Amino acid sequence: MKNNPLPRLDQDEGLRQKLLPYCRLQPGEIWTDPLRGHKVGCLDCTDADAVAHLMDGAKANLAVHDPPYNLIAFDERELADYISWCRQWVELSWQVLAADSAFYIWLGADQNNQFQPLPDFMLMMRDFAFQPRSFITMRNQRGYGTQKNWMAIRQELLYYVKGDPVFTVQYTDIPKILRGYYKEVNGEITENLERSRSENIRPGNVWVDVQQVFYRMEENVSGCYAQKPLKAIERIIQASSEVGDLVLDFFSHSGTTLLSSEMHGRCCYTTDIDPIYSEITIQRLERFRQTGKTGWQNGHPFEADLPTVITELVDTPMKQQAKSEPVQARLF
């Protein structure tokens, strides 16, 4: 079986230099999808002119942002700097979101450092007219921790609204197993399965049914270190937008929001400051259209251009796996 994944791109500057010539976008450039009008910009999402150029007057119905979390694995900044950086892209999001729209942000809390930046971000959000609607926790299957602390297995997702956007109730694949919960309806005593619209439970604000991405999954995009599961993004898109709507994601990385928008008939405008992730985003969409595949389980987006270069750099399968594990999963 082929086994040719990319190692984590953020940890290998030499490899990055080899890949950059194969990236079609230079910083400041935007690719427009000829088929469905999606856009991928190699842009800094705090640059107001760049975002205006991307939007070209359009308004988004939903934004799903997954910024770097200000954890050590990323380029850690002073907390105040990080929050003022967030303020810039939140402000730009407000400007380009429609009057009735949804705003989701994935953000971490570093338990080894005063749980920053999550609470600070929440306080900063009070300066905006966005209204908080939910604080969702997604459970990771694999965590990190010691014998002296609770295993860290959570990812946090904040849900705010501007105006009064759509919300379509979602269901998990988990069957309802508990009976009881009797209630009188029209003089009849009913039990909860009779009253409900689905045999399955709703996800609520604690998501326990989403498999975190790891190298054995088809949707895995090797080289990406912070990929969100398609199932989680699909849930957000289906709950908080409608077919034909415009979805915005300022931090594309592996292009999960774009791919999910494509799958569900939405249009997506997305940015990444890094030409390599911008290229991966475009290639992930193109590959899906050509093959129906959602990622590169045992290969990578640049293998047509650089079939051998990666094997020289990659060591044992165990090391490859460690290198491609999502950062957030280990740092929460």
Ligand X SMILES: C[S@@+](CC[C@H](N)C(=O)[O-])C[C@H]1O[C@@H](n2cnc3c(N)ncnc32)[C@H](O)[C@@H]1O
Footprint of ligand X on this chain (CB under 6 A)? 44-46, 66, 68, 224, 226-228, 250-251, 253-254, 256, 271-274, 277
Kindly list the distances between the CA atom of residue 329 and the CA atoms of 203, 257, 290, 332, in Å, as whole numbers in the listed order. 20, 19, 31, 6
* Nearer CB in complex with ligand X: 222/256: 256
Match 């190692």 to its residue by tokens: 7
- Residue 199 Cβ vs ligand X, minimum distance, rounded to whole Å: 30
207 vs 250 by CB, closer to ligand X:
250
- Closest contact distance (angstroms) between CB of 219 and ligand X is 10
User: In this complex, which beta carbon is closest to ligand X, that of residue 180 or of residue 239?
Assistant: 239
Q: Which is nearer to ligand X, 139 or 231 (CB)?
A: 231
Q: Least distance to ligand X from the beta carbon of 42, Å?
A: 9
Q: What's the CA gap between 165 and 99, in Å, rounded?
A: 8
Nearer to ligand X, 190 or 238 (CB): 238
For residues 93 and 158, give the distance between their C-alpha atoms in angstroms, rounded to a whole number.
15
The least distance separating ligand X from the CB of residue 46, rounded to whole angstroms, comes to: 5
Q: Which of 210, 211, 209, 216 is nearest to 295 (CA)?
A: 216
Residue 35 CB, shortest distance to ligand X, in Å, is: 22
Nearer CB in complex with ligand X: 124/201: 124
Smallest distance from ligand X to CB 224, Å: 6
Backbone angles phi, psi at 223, to 5 degrees: 95, -30
Which residue's CB is nearer to ligand X, number 226 or number 267?
A: 226
**Among the residues of the chain, which ranges form H helices?**
13-19, 48-55, 79-96, 118-125, 192-195, 230-240, 256-263, 275-291, 309-313, 317-324, 327-331
Does the CA dihedral 290-283-295-50 come out positive or negative?
A: negative
| Strand intervals (E) in the chain | 30-32, 39-41, 60-65, 97-107, 109-110, 116-117, 131-144, 152-162, 183-185, 188-190, 206-207, 246-249, 267-271
Task: Provide, rounded to whole angstroms, the least separation between the CB of residue 38 and ligand X.
Answer: 15
Q: Write the CB contacts of 200 (distance below 8 Å, at least 6 apart in sequence).
A: 171, 172, 173, 174, 175, 176
